[in-house]
RNA sequence: GGGCGAUUAGCUCAGUUGGCUAGAGCGCUUCGUUUACACCGAAGAGGUCACAGGUUCGAGUCCUGUAUCGCCCA
């Protein structure tokens, strides 16, 4: 074997960092991700990336999300379809503005100090910085996106889509301005979407306030957690089922402090008092103060009973008489200007002094907080823009898009394109989607921010003159039932509303995309653009269209043809937390603007990555793992393999977070502490596990004010979970090294008839593995695909096949050809998961010559990334080889166990004494037996059994091993007797099953037959075992 | 309060229409550096499948209830 020298071309161990950068460059040079729209009938595959927020670098959740997408895209590309993966990033309005403001505040600058233009410039600089980081990370991960088509939700292409979508919706009456209660953040003074509100449990109080009845005949007691809002009360409500309701019907209450006369109304929303009931009922009095301007439920009650709405607060949540509160008596003057917290104390004190405070009880409840400023949300009445998503054209379309089998109940009939197309994987998320739409509320899309798409509406208020317009200036479009709607230019939509109280007429003009002259004309005429920007999800909702050039591909020639070829996309791959925020809205918009077409056919929801304690990885806990660190310490393939392995359909995955000791480089499990909020985190300072006395600061330590120093450096987070991936890539690498050393002159032709058992078996296994992988991917079972690839490479190929062919490969040109071909196919099979190591060894394997077998098609390619997925013919399936190998593997297992249990030295050669039925097989596989378990000799077993041998039972026959060193007869007897006992147990259980008539009659015949043959086998094994025991004595 | 999900080996998780002795990786024990790989190989220990009922010839798998944990919505 002089060929060993050729392994020299590969180092002993795979070091990812040595080859990954060059491989990325190769992919980029070859443009593997770039796709042009193909001919109409060609097969297409498309995924749009969930655009990461430009707020910060990508975390492990992104690594998971994007690894899975890349696996799909690489697989479909290898299958020969035009596979487009559209990359890009999201401007993330609130989140980005927030991080930029925080950075400014570090130097004491507020955004208002900078002004709008300068602030947007700062935000743009932040975006440029993080966009580069994110795109770099995606490339590092190996993401084979079409980088030429990289988009950003605020770039000109996407902006055109946002402008036109807004215009169309405005024109069609689906966007309107409305006074509504919003989730108001009084610190940042902006409205928040429902999902931007974080619920927190707060230990507060329930105050019991007495409101005197107007006629002086006693009082009612209301219970409230927010006494300060009573200044805006416009009713007291009671449940109509309450026995006290009848006597109070039609009566009034005189509101303390304010003196307002407010009605008692009956509404079944009111919880009746019940000492045994739920938390709310135990604290209830049966009387509810109703403050429509400051509570969403009260708002609804107000609508039902036509109550006054009195706003008593300014936008900063201080008590104010400038925002709708007019009946302010002198008694209430002293509350004006107080913060809501101070007002609460003052109001309670007033009631106490007036003898109207009945009692106070401790009360824990859930209060919405701003995810941005972390102060309690104030339900606040303000003017906002809404999309009427509850309209049948939007919500109905989204519901009808769901596939029949995933729709709960009868799916509404539709009959337009796209109906019944969307399927969720796992299917249970279809329910989340459906329930969300069934309880949908209109979508507030305006945000009081500077960073985002500015609302394209220009407004002018003019004094009312003469007669009010009583009819639309022109006919509104179909479906638009808004008053005073008029249409002018095809790119201009004007609406007029009348404010009778202030005697003004408001003219609002919405302008379509690409009409700067209209905008200028409006400004010239004194119109001012709305200062607000759109909710980020408005532009995200258009992502599958905007990235493909809608509505004006001719204006952006790079995008021409994309929409027709690639929308609908094939699958949206995302986390479940944005099913409502994003998935739903993409479906509504795509269907609305593209004639019912859905944005994607499949929605795959992947699990969440948690830390070792089941907590979400978050910046504030310092428990996140940076994918770049794993790429550097373990290699990208290791990261990707583990990501694929954990992508199971049932549950979220815990990934224990370890530390890297900066003193020694070793990985260790940190000491954990519990934070005041109850989270498990790494203690701020840790001892080095191996360098005595040395300390380090953790990421959590950094957050709590520890500053790293030269003596006490920062310790990076990592996870030993990725070791398995590193080991696997190294295994693949070394299998190739082995092959390079043995494949000297592969045969140019292969005669399948004369292939060895091992070769036939390996090819047969390969067929099964490729089939399994294809099936797994079709069902989005990434973990199964990873398992299939892992097992065939490590268990079948390395552990068995390579060991089995060691004795013969050197002199067998045909076998060399088989090895080479199988290796090539395995690299293709593995490539979508581990693109780097497969690409790194590819040129070496390619250099060895043709790789093709009858029934195995492997067209050559420069790069494995652009190679074809292996196509195997069923003719390679070899049941006989699989059965024989299975038998041989069991025999090897028995021999190995016998050797191990009897402490036979590894180098000691032993002889196998086989009964006739086994002898042929053993002799035919003598080389393999020698290689796998050091059986040096196979001899026939005579009728008389020689002493001093070890016996075991194989397929009902007694086999002997001549172990050279001899056998301890007592240990041997004990082993055989325990074996016999186990067999007796098996026989008893099988007999029991077969003597059960119901089993024999009802179970499928093949199972019953199987049971019978098992019984036969066990009985034969028992006889042979007992014979062996007798032979011992 | 409503909805969804989870509970399987010391740890992290598989287990596809119910069907042989419930699997993997890590960790642990023992042995081994044989010329692909110690990021390796061989052997082994370790599970009343949360609990209680039910359906069935047969339940980790289906149904009901209980407990605990998680997420979403109110």
Sheet holding A504-511, edge to edge: A485-487, A492-499, A504-511, A457-463, A528-529
Task: Note if the bond before A1004 is cis, omega within 30 degrees.
Answer: no
Complex ipTM value: 0.95
Percent of chain A beyond pLDDT 70?
Answer: 95
Burial class of residue A943 in the structure, from the number of CB atoms within 10 Å of its CB (0-12 exposed, 13-18 middle, 19+ buried): exposed
- Asked whether strand B has any atom less than 7 Å from the CB of A613, the reply is no
**Integer angstrom CA distances of residue A620 from A143, A227, A449, A702:** 28, 34, 24, 10
- Model confidence at A552: pLDDT above 80: yes
Residues 6+ apart with CB under 8 A from A750: A814, A817, A818, A853, A854
**A70 CA from B12 C1′ (Å):** 25
- The β-bridge relationship of strands A856-857 and A871-872 is antiparallel
- Which comes out higher in pLDDT, residue A529 or A197? A529
Residue at token pair 């990873």: A786
d(CA A349, CA A353): 6
Q: What is the predicted pLDDT for the residue at A465?
A: 65
Confidence of residue A289 (pLDDT cuts 50, 70, 90): very high
Q: What is the predicted pLDDT for the residue at A483?
A: 45
What 3-state DSSP class applies to A606?
Answer: strand
Burial class of residue A144 in the structure, from the number of CB atoms within 10 Å of its CB (0-12 exposed, 13-18 middle, 19+ buried): buried
A897-903 CB contacts, 8 Å cutoff, 24+ apart: A898/A950, A898/A952, A898/A961, A898/A963, A899/A933, A899/A934, A899/A961, A899/A963, A901/A975, A902/A950, A902/A963, A902/A965, A902/A967, A902/A968, A902/A971, A903/A965
Number of residues that make up chain A = 1033
- Model confidence at A471: pLDDT above 70: no
Confidence of residue A352 (pLDDT cuts 50, 70, 90): very high
Q: What is the predicted pLDDT for the residue at A872?
A: 93
The structure tokens listed for A22 are 């060059």
Confidence of residue A279 (pLDDT cuts 50, 70, 90): low
A344-351 CB contacts, 8 Å cutoff, 24+ apart: A344/A226, A344/A227, A344/A228, A346/A228, A347/A227, A347/A228, A347/A230, A347/A231, A347/A257, A348/A207, A348/A227, A350/A256, A350/A257, A351/A207, A351/A209, A351/A210, A351/A227, A351/A256
A224 φ/ψ angles, rounded to the nearest 5 degrees:
-150, 150
- Averaged pLDDT of chain A: 87
Q: What is the predicted pLDDT for the residue at A823?
A: 95
Mean pLDDT for A934-945 is 80
**A670 CA from B50 C1′ (Å):** 29
Contact A67, A639 (CB under 8 A): yes
Dump pLDDT digits (tens) for A709-752: 988 999 999 998 999 999 999 999 999 999 999 988 888 888 88
Dump pLDDT digits (tens) for A579-603: 888 999 999 999 999 999 999 999 9
Q: Which of residues 740-799 of A touch strand B (CB under 7 A)?
A: 741, 779, 781, 783-784, 787, 794, 798-799
**Which residue from A246, A240, A27 is spatially nearest to A147, judged by alpha carbons?**
A27
- Asked whether strand B has any atom less than 7 Å from the CB of A986, the reply is yes
| Largest Cα span, chain A | 126
d(CA A671, CA A693): 16
Mean pLDDT for A883-902 is 87
The structure tokens listed for A417 are 């394109």
**A676 CA from B51 C1′ (Å):** 33
**A650 CA from B53 C1′ (Å):** 26
d(CA A625, CA A643): 13
Q: What is the predicted pLDDT for the residue at A284?
A: 84
d(CA A799, CA A804): 9
Exposed e or buried b for every residue in A225-248, given b needs 16+ CB within 10 A? ebbbbbbbbbbbbbbeebeeeeeb
Percent of chain A beyond pLDDT 90?
Answer: 46
- Model confidence at A479: pLDDT above 70: no
**Which residue from A643, A604, A652 is spatially nearest to A426, judged by alpha carbons?**
A604
Q: What is the predicted pLDDT for the residue at A563?
A: 93
Q: What is the predicted pLDDT for the residue at A966?
A: 64
- Asked whether strand B has any atom less than 7 Å from the CB of A499, the reply is no
Q: What is the predicted pLDDT for the residue at A1?
A: 36
Residues 6+ apart with CB under 8 A from A864: A827, A828, A831, A835, A838, A839, A842
Dump pLDDT digits (tens) for A632-664: 999 999 999 999 999 876 668 888 888 888 888
Q: Which of residues 425-464 of A touch strand B (CB under 7 A)?
A: 428, 431-432, 435, 439
- Model confidence at A935: pLDDT above 90: no
Residues 6+ apart with CB under 8 A from A409: none
Sheet holding A423-425, edge to edge: A423-425, A600-606, A569-575
pTM, full prediction: 0.89
Give chain A's count of helices (H) and strands (E). Answer: 33, 40
What stretch of H or E contains A254?
strand A252-254
Confidence of residue A476 (pLDDT cuts 50, 70, 90): very low
Confidence of residue A921 (pLDDT cuts 50, 70, 90): confident
Contact A960, A935 (CB under 8 A): no
Dump pLDDT digits (tens) for A427-440: 888 888 888 888 88
**Which residue from A57, A79, A68, A44 is spatially nearest to A144, judged by alpha carbons?**
A68
**A283 CA from B8 C1′ (Å):** 43
- Which comes out higher in pLDDT, residue A788 or A973? A788
- Which of A456-465, A480-489, A723-732, A911-920 is predicted with the least confidence, judged by mean pLDDT? A480-489
Mean pLDDT for A354-379 is 85
Report the nucleotide nearest the CA of residue A720, measured to C1'.
B26
Confidence of residue A473 (pLDDT cuts 50, 70, 90): very low
The structure tokens listed for A967 are 């056998």
- Asked whether strand B has any atom less than 7 Å from the CB of A121, the reply is no
- Asked whether strand B has any atom less than 7 Å from the CB of A116, the reply is no
d(CA A817, CA A1010): 39
- Which of A878-882, A943-947, A995-999 is predicted with the least confidence, judged by mean pLDDT? A943-947
- Asked whether strand B has any atom less than 7 Å from the CB of A900, the reply is yes
Rg of chain A taking only CA atoms, in angstroms: 37
The structure tokens listed for A631 are 């790429």
Report the nucleotide nearest the CA of residue A794, measured to C1'.
B37
Confidence of residue A349 (pLDDT cuts 50, 70, 90): very high
Q: What is the predicted pLDDT for the residue at A404?
A: 86
Confidence of residue A790 (pLDDT cuts 50, 70, 90): very high
Residue at token pair 């109850």: A678
- Asked whether strand B has any atom less than 7 Å from the CB of A996, the reply is yes
Q: How many CB atoms lie within 10 A of CB A423?
A: 18
The structure tokens listed for A1003 are 């179970």
Confidence of residue A466 (pLDDT cuts 50, 70, 90): low
- Which comes out higher in pLDDT, residue A920 or A154? A154
- The β-bridge relationship of strands A357-370 and A197-212 is antiparallel
**Which residue from A7, A8, A20 is spatially nearest to A834, judged by alpha carbons?**
A20
Confidence of residue A488 (pLDDT cuts 50, 70, 90): low
- Asked whether strand B has any atom less than 7 Å from the CB of A998, the reply is yes
**A792 CA from B25 C1′ (Å):** 15
d(CA A399, CA A592): 13
Q: What is the predicted pLDDT for the residue at A469?
A: 47
Residues 6+ apart with CB under 8 A from A253: A211, A212, A213, A214, A220, A236, A261, A262, A263, A264
Residues 6+ apart with CB under 8 A from A1033: none
- Model confidence at A195: pLDDT above 70: no
Q: Which of residues 259-298 of A touch strand B (CB under 7 A)?
A: 278-279
Confidence of residue A258 (pLDDT cuts 50, 70, 90): very high
Query: Which of strand B's nucleotides are less than 7 A from any protein C-beta?
Result: 1, 3-7, 11-16, 19-21, 25-26, 30-44, 56-58, 69-74
Confidence of residue A497 (pLDDT cuts 50, 70, 90): confident
- The β-bridge relationship of strands A609-611 and A653-655 is parallel
Q: Locate all alpha helices (DSSP H) within A722-781, ordered by sequence.
A: 723-742, 757-778
d(CA A946, CA A1007): 40
**Integer angstrom CA distances of residue A810 from A487, A593, A799:** 84, 65, 18
Confidence of residue A226 (pLDDT cuts 50, 70, 90): very high
Q: How many CB atoms lie within 10 A of CB A1010?
A: 12
Q: What is the predicted pLDDT for the residue at A977?
A: 80
Mean pLDDT for A250-276 is 88
Report the nucleotide nearest the CA of residue A802, measured to C1'.
B36
d(CA A256, CA A947): 108
Contact A561, A550 (CB under 8 A): no
Dump pLDDT digits (tens) for A116-151: 999 999 999 999 999 999 999 999 999 999 999 999
- Asked whether strand B has any atom less than 7 Å from the CB of A651, the reply is yes
Question: What is the DSSP code string of A1016-1030?
Answer: HHHHHHHHHHHHHHH
A411 φ/ψ angles, rounded to the nearest 5 degrees:
-75, 135
Mean pLDDT for A515-537 is 89
């Amino acid at each position: 074997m002089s060929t060993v020298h050729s392994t020299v071309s590969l180092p002993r161990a795979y070091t990812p960092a040595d080859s990954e950068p060059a491989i990325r460059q190769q992919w980029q040079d070859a443009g593997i991700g770039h796709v042009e729209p193909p001919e109409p009938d060609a097969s297409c595959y498309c995924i749009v990336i969930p655009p990461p927020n430009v707020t910060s670098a990508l975390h492990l959740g992104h690594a998971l999300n994007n690894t899975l997408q890349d696996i799909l895209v690489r697989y479909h590309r290898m299958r020969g379809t035009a596979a487009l993966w559209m990359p890009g990033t999201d401007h993330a309005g609130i989140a980005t503005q927030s991080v930029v403001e925080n950075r400014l505040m570090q130097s004491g600058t507020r955004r208002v100090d900078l002004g709008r233009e300068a602030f947007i410039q700062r935000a743009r600089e932040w975006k440029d910085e993080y966009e580069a980081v994110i795109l770099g990370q995606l490339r590092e991960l190996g993401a084979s996106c079409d980088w030429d088509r990289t988009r950003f939700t605020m770039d000109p292409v996407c902006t055109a889509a946002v402008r036109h979508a807004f215009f169309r919706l405005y024109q069609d009456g689906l966007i309107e301005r409305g006074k509504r209660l919003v989730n108001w953040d009084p610190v940042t003074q902006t409205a928040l979407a429902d999902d931007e509100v974080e619920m927190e449990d707060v230990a507060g109080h329930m105050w019991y306030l007495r409101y005197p009845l107007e006629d002086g005949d006693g009082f009612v007691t209301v219970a409230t957690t927010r006494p300060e809002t009573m200044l805006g009360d416009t009713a007291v409500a009671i449940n109509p089922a309450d026995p006290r309701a009848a006597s109070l019907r039609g009566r009034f209450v005189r509101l303390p402090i304010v003196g307002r006369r407010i009605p008692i109304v009956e509404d079944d929303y009111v919880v009746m008092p019940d000492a045994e009931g739920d938390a709310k009922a135990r604290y209830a009095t049966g009387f509810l103060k109703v403050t429509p301007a400051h509570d969403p439920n009260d708002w609804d009650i107000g609508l039902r009973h036509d109550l006054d709405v009195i706003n008593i607060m300014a936008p900063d949540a201080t008590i104010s008489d400038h925002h709708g509160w007019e009946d302010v008596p002198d008694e209430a003057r002293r509350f004006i200007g107080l913060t809501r917290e101070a007002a609460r104390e003052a109001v309670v004190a007033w009631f106490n002094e007036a003898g109207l405070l009945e009692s106070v009880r401790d009360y824990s409840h859930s209060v919405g907080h701003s995810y941005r400023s972390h102060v309690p949300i104030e339900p606040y009445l303000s003017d906002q823009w809404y999309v009427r998503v509850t309209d049948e054209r939007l919500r109905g379309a989204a519901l009808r898009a769901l596939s029949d089998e995933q729709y709960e109940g009868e799916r509404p009939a539709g009959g337009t394109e796209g109906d019944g197309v969307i399927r969720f994987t796992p299917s249970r998320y279809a329910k989340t989607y459906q329930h969300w739409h069934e309880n949908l509320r209109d979508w507030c899309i305006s945000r009081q921010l500077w960073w985002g798409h500015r609302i394209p509406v220009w407004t002018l208020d003019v004094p009312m003159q003469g007669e009010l317009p009583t009819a639309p200036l022109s006919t509104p479009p179909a479906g638009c039932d808004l008053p005073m709607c008029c249409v002018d230019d095809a790119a201009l939509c004007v609406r007029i509303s009348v404010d009778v109280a202030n005697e003004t007429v408001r003219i609002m003009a919405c302008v379509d995309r690409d009409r700067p002259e209209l905008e200028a004309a409006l400004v010239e005429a004194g119109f001012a653009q709305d200062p607000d920007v759109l909710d980020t999800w408005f532009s995200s909702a258009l992502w599958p269209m905007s990235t493909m050039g809608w509505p004006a591909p001719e204006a952006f020639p790079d995008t021409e043809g994309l929409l027709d070829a690639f929308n609908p996309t094939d699958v949206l791959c995302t986390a479940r937390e944005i099913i409502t925020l994003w998935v739903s809205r993409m479906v509504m918009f795509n269907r609305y603007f593209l004639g019912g077409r859905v944005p994607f056919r499949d929605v795959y929801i992947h699990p969440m990555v948690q830390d070792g304690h089941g907590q979400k990885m978050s910046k504030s806990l310092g428990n996140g793992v940076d994918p770049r660190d794993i790429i550097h310490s373990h290699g990208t393939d290791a990261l990707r393999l583990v990501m694929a392995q954990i992508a199971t359909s049932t549950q979220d995955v815990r990934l224990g977070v370890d530390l890297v000791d900066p003193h020694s480089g070793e990985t260790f499990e940190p000491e954990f502490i519990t934070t005041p909020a109850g989270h498990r985190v790494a203690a701020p300072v840790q001892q080095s596990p191996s360098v005595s006395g040395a300390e380090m600061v953790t990421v959590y330590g950094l957050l709590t004010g520890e500053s790293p120093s030269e003596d006490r450096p920062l310790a990076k987070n990592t996870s030993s979970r990725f070791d398995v991936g590193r080991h696997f890539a190294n295994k693949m690498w070394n299998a190739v090294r082995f092959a390079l050393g043995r494949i000297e002159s592969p045969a140019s032709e292969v005669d399948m008839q004369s292939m060895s058992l091992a070769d036939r078996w390996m090819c047969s296994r390969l067929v099964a593995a490729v089939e399994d992988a294809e099936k797994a991917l079709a069902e989005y079972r990434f973990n199964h695909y990873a398992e299939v690839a892992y097992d065939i490479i490590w268990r079948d190929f390395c552990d068995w096949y390579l060991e089995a062919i060691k004795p013969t490969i050197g002199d067998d040109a045909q076998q060399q050809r088989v090895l080479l071909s199988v290796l090539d196919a395995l690299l293709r099979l593995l490539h979508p998961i581990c693109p780097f190591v497969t690409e790194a060894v590819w040129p070496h394997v390619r250099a060895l010559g043709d790789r093709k077998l009858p029934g195995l098609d492997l067209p050559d390619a420069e790069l494995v990334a652009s190679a074809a997925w292996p196509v195997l013919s069923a003719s390679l399936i070899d049941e006989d080889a699989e059965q024989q190998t299975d038998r041989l593997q069991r025999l090897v297992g028995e021999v190995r166990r016998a050797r191990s249990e009897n402490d036979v030295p590894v180098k000691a050669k032993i002889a196998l004494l086989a009964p006739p039925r086994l002898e042929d097989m053993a002799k035919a596989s003598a080389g393999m037996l020698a290689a796998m378990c050091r059986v040096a000799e196979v001899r026939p077993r005579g009728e008389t059994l020689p002493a001093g041998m070890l016996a075991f039972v194989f397929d009902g026959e007694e086999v002997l091993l001549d172990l050279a060193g001899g056998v301890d007869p007592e240990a041997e007897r004990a082993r055989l007797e325990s074996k016999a006992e186990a067999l007796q147990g098996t026989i008893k259980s099988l007999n029991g099953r077969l003597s059960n008539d119901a089993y024999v009659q009802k179970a499928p015949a093949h199972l019953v037959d199987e049971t019978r043959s098992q019984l036969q086998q066990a009985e034969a094994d028992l006889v042979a075992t007992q014979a062996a025991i007798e032979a011992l004595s």
